């Protein structure tokens, strides 16, 4: 019955899916599982990343990376996804690098300053992640083109949702109800839109992108607030009606 169903379930549910697992159990005692890249792949890709501003997301960049890491041109065959591995590696490493922003996660407070809330941290971390693209933003449209290919789209979407989850978690979000989904979905949409806007932004220090981001956050706040009010109103009305009936003696 219920007991029997659990025992054979130590087979991984995700055996058939080649995707990186979206919602892993995050353990504090045990080290995290190995990422999507082997040590060799990581060494080649990390050597290739500095060449992206000059050569873009192309096979040449990958070749330069293999050369720098001590391999030969033929070693680019190590990557079954070819040049998309560069995009994937960039997304993966920049997502993990978010945890290093100590000045956002545990800010040193001056006297009588308020502790920054979750919302402030989310906005700050999103901006940091966008700025991590600034070196390669002139090449980012090539990466977006790669991500739009049907064979690569699942990985791209999975990375986007992992990024959104990472930002919320690092900001200290502890919601575990339906708002969990709403928060991550809205942040994913905001981030994707802003990233796309940033590829065409030529303003100094990306001021226009900053304003764009603030406007998107404000929109979400308004929508979220309105929906919350509607839900609250509906709940109160229903409950009030129920109580009125009970006061009239209806046994419900």
Site string for other proteins, 61-80 (x = CB under 8 A): --xx-xx--xxxxxxxxxxx
Q: How many CB atoms lie within 10 A of CB 46?
A: 15
Q: Which stretch binds other proteins (CB under 8 A): 59-67, 90-98, 111-119, 199-207?
A: 59-67
202 binds other proteins (CB under 8 A): no
24 binds other proteins (CB under 8 A): yes
User: Which of 184, 220, 221, 229 is closest to 22 using CA atoms?
Assistant: 184
Tokens for 197, please give them: 């806007």
25 binds other proteins (CB under 8 A): yes
d(CA 230, CA 237): 11
User: Which of 184, 181, 155 is closest to 167 using CA atoms?
Assistant: 184
32 binds other proteins (CB under 8 A): yes
When computed from its CA atoms, the radius of gyration of the chain, rounded to whole angstroms, is 23
Q: Which stretch binds other proteins (CB under 8 A): 15-23, 113-121, 208-216, 220-228?
A: 15-23
User: Which of 196, 171, 159 is closest to 121 using CA atoms?
Assistant: 171
3 binds other proteins (CB under 8 A): yes
Kindly list the residues in this chain that would bind other proteins in the complex (CB under 8 A): 1-7, 9-14, 18, 21-34, 38, 40, 59-60, 63-64, 66-67, 70-81, 165, 169, 173-178, 180-181, 232, 235-236, 238-239, 246, 251-252
């Amino acid at each position: 019955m219920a007991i029997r169903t659990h025992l054979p379930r130590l087979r991984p549910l995700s055996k058939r899916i080649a995707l990186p697992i979206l919602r892993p159990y995050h353990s504090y005692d045990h080290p995290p599982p190995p990422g999507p890249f082997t040590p060799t792949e990581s060494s080649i890709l990390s050597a290739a990343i500095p060449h992206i501003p000059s050569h873009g997301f192309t096979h040449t960049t990958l070749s330069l990376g293999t050369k720098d890491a001590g391999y030969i041109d033929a070693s680019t065959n190590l990557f079954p996804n070819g040049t998309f591995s560069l995009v994937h590696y960039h997304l993966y490493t920049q997502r993990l690098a978010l945890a290093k922003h100590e000045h956002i996660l545990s800010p040193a407070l001056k006297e009588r300053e308020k502790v920054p809330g979750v919302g402030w941290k989310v906005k700050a971390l999103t901006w940091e992640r966008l700025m991590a693209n600034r070196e390669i933003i002139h090449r980012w449209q090539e990466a977006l083109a790669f991500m739009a290919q049907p064979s690569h789209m699942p990985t791209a979407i999975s990375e986007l949702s992992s990024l959104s989850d990472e930002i919320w978690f690092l900001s200290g979000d502890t919601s575990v109800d339906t708002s969990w989904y709403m928060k991550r979905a809205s942040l994913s949409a905001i981030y994707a839109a802003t990233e796309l806007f940033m590829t065409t932004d030529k303003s100094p220090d990306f001021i226009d992108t900053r304003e764009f981001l603030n406007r998107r956050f404000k929109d979400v706040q308004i929508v979220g607030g309105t929906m919350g009010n509607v839900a609250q109103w509906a709940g109160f009305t229903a409950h009030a009606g129920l109580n009125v009936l009970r006061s009239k003696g209806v046994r419900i």
